[in-house]
A and B are shown apart, each in its own frame.
Chain A
């Protein structure tokens, strides 16, 4: 019987190739039909979307590149009457104000000091962010412990024959980065201590931690900065004069520590009780239990949250402008006031440049947080 079946002439012994799908269901047309035009409402939405794109993208490209003025010495070169055509972005404005936007009024012959600080920071930060590079602990100690001290003496000066530079004349991106990095470096340990305090068994410590966290989280950062600028000096002995940048830094650090504490607390709560009990059963003390068993697991879980807090902090550094510290945005606003460069496109040019700078920093951080999240997704999450 089986032999007979094999010899039957009409039984195929080979698979035939699959037929090509109908033209309308595959390839570019199929994709279009499936993703853009699968119903009347969707077709309408597609048209609306195309209209939006047409409304935004071509004028933007025209403004930033095609109509832009690339060289010039003063506002004259960016005026439509002078150039004889429509004028887009006035890039000479940014070129002329570039140093002011980056360093503020830091003495120009001392630019190497902020530059060296930036380079040091980058050289320590980049290996810290790449998971493959070893010596993470040493690297972290260098970045969080040694770098701030070195940066402080490099920027402020006054020792080792370095000329003293008052923080009053600092400005631009330099101040933005100083505020952001200080906030980040100070808020992480403070936040961890507060989170541990909030989950402590000791009622007095828990009480003070809760009060501290809820207070700072309940008020806007701008009131914190006002508090640091106007109220803090009143609380200090009369002969203490605190630098205005330092006051803002204290405010930012306390504020972000409260937010960091809540992020870390989330991580602590996600660690199963068994881990605590296991540690206690081994007779390990509180600090060793936290430092060696609980925190390494908890912090790993909340790295995305920590990075998000950093992004928020970086964006919030712009607020120091309101208490008269000229950060990047503050310098930009000051540059707008220069009558030598008042043209119809100056404002848009400045905002375009600053927007690109802020976007690059924040978008970079958020992409990095996504990358870490995927890498660390070791099955804790359901």
Chain B
């Protein structure tokens, strides 16, 4: 047969340099060699340059004395402490502003985002104007504005603005009452922690029961009562060991109380308002992404509006909201490095700023700083991928 004759003939072979497989290997080899060569050049150049400039290498500098002061430290620190401790203090300061910022930005962002969907025309427009204004101005501009223009214009300590006689605001920062933990505070804190753990357990149990039997349990109210009640009982039983030390004006400055430095306040306000504008848009998009049919179906099943929102709309909206929300949290953490512009002692300012200037060990210090931020982002995105895999719609 004619067909078998055609099969006998050799299939047309392309020349080996036209074979996609060979080409693929060739391209990869070229890239690999180029990257390797660049890396080699960098290492050689860096070695020669460092030798010429007589800069030490290695991580030994972390044990040297820092010799500069830091205006906000969460753990004890003196000028004779090491650069290693400076690194820890900077990291803690970064985490502090990021943690408080994330909580406040979430609250503000949800309020603004829901306001944008409000039936109230005025509120909707105000929220829209806020989002447009904040999103279209650079963050650094906003940080400088709050720090130089707003906080810089505050009066001195003697003319402090007083809120209820407890909190004082002036150009040296915000002075708030300092909690003093006397003997027995441990019991109160333990009671509080125990109540929180019990509430989490209650929630797990209630969810399991609801999935098994359909019966609901008022988790929120019970756990609130549990936490507040247990803490209060412990307070009374131990005779109120936790007191607050009031700030007092003595001479030209305040004595007592806890001083929050203005750099922290300015950075926090700017980060919170900026991130909240982005979170507001995410929340709005998330709620709009749940189709109206879901609400109507929930109503026709006899759910009340509050229940429909809580049990039907919000869980579905969260599926859309949470991934971009996490990336906003990451952005806030990374943006906190702008603190260096106003002198808030975060990781970047004290480590890649002052320490780098003093030691000159640019490679080690910048690599360490980058590694810290990189670790934070990679861990977060790993957690995010796990969460995404859990809540993904199961498609049939």
Interface residues of A (CB under 8 A from B): 35-36, 38, 42, 45-46, 48-50, 52-53, 201-205, 208, 214-215, 217-220, 222-223, 226-227, 230-231, 233-238, 311, 314-319, 321-322, 329, 333, 336, 344, 347-348, 351, 354-355, 358-359, 362-363, 366
Contact = CB atoms under 8 A, between A and B. Distances in A.
A205 B366 contact: no
Contacts of A222: 337-338, 340, 348
Given A202-B27, A219-B370, A42 B120 contact: yes
Interface stretch (B48-56, B166-174, B184-192, B256-264): B48-56
A36 B120 contact: yes
A51 B45 CA distance: 63
A220 B119 contact: no
Interface of B, secondary structure class, is helix
B244 interface: no
17 contacts: A45-B123, A46-B122, A53-B122, A219-B377, A220-B338, A222-B338, A223-B370, A226-B369, A233-B49, A234-B46, A318-B141, A322-B338, A329-B141, A333-B148, A351-B144, A355-B141, A355-B145
Contacts of A46: 120, 122-123
Contacts of B369: 223, 226
B148 A238 contact: no
A355 B144 contact: no
Contacts, number: 152
Contacts of A50: 122
A218 B374 contact: yes
Contact of B373 (A48, A223, A231, A351): A223
Contacts of A316: 138
Contact of B352 (A36, A214, A215, A226): A226
Leading 10 A-B pairs by shortest Cβ distance: A362-B136, A204-B28, A35-B121, A220-B334, A315-B138, A218-B377, A230-B362, A49-B122, A235-B42, A218-B374
Interface in B16-36: 24, 27-28, 31-32, 35
Contacts of A363: 132, 136
B370 A234 contact: no
B136 A219 contact: no
Given A322-B140, A347-B153, A351-B148, 17 more contacts: A46-B122, A49-B120, A50-B122, A202-B28, A205-B31, A208-B31, A218-B374, A219-B334, A220-B335, A220-B338, A230-B356, A234-B50, A318-B139, A318-B140, A347-B149, A347-B152, A354-B141
Contacts of A329: 138, 140-141, 144
Given A42-B119, A219-B374, A231-B363, A355 B137 contact: yes
A223 B27 contact: no
A50 to B, nearest CB: 7
Contacts of B378: 214, 218
Interface of B: 24, 27-28, 31-32, 35, 41-42, 45-46, 48-50, 52, 118-123, 126, 132-133, 135-141, 144-145, 148-149, 152-153, 334-335, 337-338, 340-341, 348, 352, 356, 362-363, 366, 369-370, 373-374, 377-378
Contacts of B48: 238
B362 A231 contact: yes
Contact of A359 (B119, B136, B341, B366): B136
A234 B32 contact: no
Contacts of B152: 347
B35 A208 contact: yes
Give the most central of B24, B140, B341: most A CB within 10 Å. B140
B141 A38 contact: no
Contact of A322 (B28, B120, B121, B340): B340
A308 B113 CA distance: 20
A18 B369 CA distance: 73
A204 B31 contact: yes
B136 A358 contact: yes
A169 to B, nearest CB: 22
A231 B119 contact: no
Contacts of B335: 220
A36 B121 contact: yes
Contact of A234 (B45, B119, B133, B334): B45
